[in-house]
Amino acid sequence: MNPIERVQARPGYDRQTRVTFGFLIAVLGCLTGTPAPAGAQDKKAEVRFGVCDWTIGKSADYTSFELARKLGLEGLQVSLNLAGESLALASYELQKNYFLAAAASRVAICSFAIGELNNVPLKSDPRAEKWLDQAIDIAASMQVRRILVPFFGKGDLRKDPQGTAATIACLKRLAPKAEKQHVILALESWLSAEDHVKIIDAVGSKAVRVYYDVANAQERGYDVAREIGLLGKRICEVHAKDTKDLYGKGSMDFAAVKRALDGIGYRGWLVIEGSQLPLGIEQSIAYDLKYLKTVFRRV
């Protein structure tokens, strides 16, 4: 029995709810369809633009879909926040609310993110593994294919071989389930491309890849274009970000980013994670999106 069937088999899950939930799953499945691998798709395929729900001030709030639509975005990266000791979206009723909001706005859930792992690290706290395990079930139930797994703050893996080894062991335990559910665990950290490759190779699972943030890499002094080329198909989603100013006015060379992403055949999501919003949230995101379209969308 797959996750959707388990939802539908729950006590009190009446026929009307079953039909509604099934319809919404079908709609969301169309919206969140994972782009075909490079070489297996139309050469004219384009990247799609999303935004983090926390960037638009609506972390774990399903009204964020309507704001994302208003701003012209096609996708939303959704926070998996806590409700007590579990992830809030483990609630099927809340899942339905998200389905309804996504369907009404025609804005896809491009990925999930568990920001709490920066405070409760996967490398040292058993709760983090429990939450990530639960997130895999949620992603499978809602047909979302990527979960951002962050390693910042207390979860930082730099100069921490013991923590890195513990993280690899944890990912090895979770990867088989993620593979079976067709869910990708996308690692985002301060580590270099080479160090990410070492972790991915050590885990040895196609379910573990990299969530690449161009600004994070630049902040650490890494060569962004080189890193993208080195990681290649290990990159499953990308944060478009500039830590200095509005896009096109700051320090990020998005034209070079596009060339590098084109070089690996990337046609996935570009998710805006705005750190500089001098015009206010809505005007700044609208400005950044308009700029990105001039760089990444073909005429």
Q: Which of the pair, 127 or 17, is modelled with greater confidence? A: 127
The mean per-residue pLDDT over the stretch 8-27 comes to 46
Q: How confident is the model at residue 27 (pLDDT cuts 50, 70, 90)?
A: low
- Taking CA atoms, 112 is separated from 45, 237, 288, in Å, by 24, 11, 22
Q: How confident is the model at residue 151 (pLDDT cuts 50, 70, 90)?
A: very high
Contact, 117 vs 135, CB < 8 A?
A: no
Q: Which tokens go with 111?
A: 């990925």
The mean per-residue pLDDT over the stretch 116-142 comes to 98
Contact, 89 vs 67, CB < 8 A?
A: no
Q: How confident is the model at residue 28 (pLDDT cuts 50, 70, 90)?
A: low
Contacts of 273 (CB under 8 A, 6+ apart): 51, 52, 55, 213, 215, 239, 240, 241
Q: How confident is the model at residue 5 (pLDDT cuts 50, 70, 90)?
A: very low
Q: Which CATH class is domain 3-32+42-296?
A: alpha beta
User: In this predicted structure, what is the pLDDT of residue 26?
Assistant: 52
Closest CA to 70 of 101, 32, 105: 105
Tens digits of per-residue pLDDT, 253-272?
999 999 999 999 999 999 99
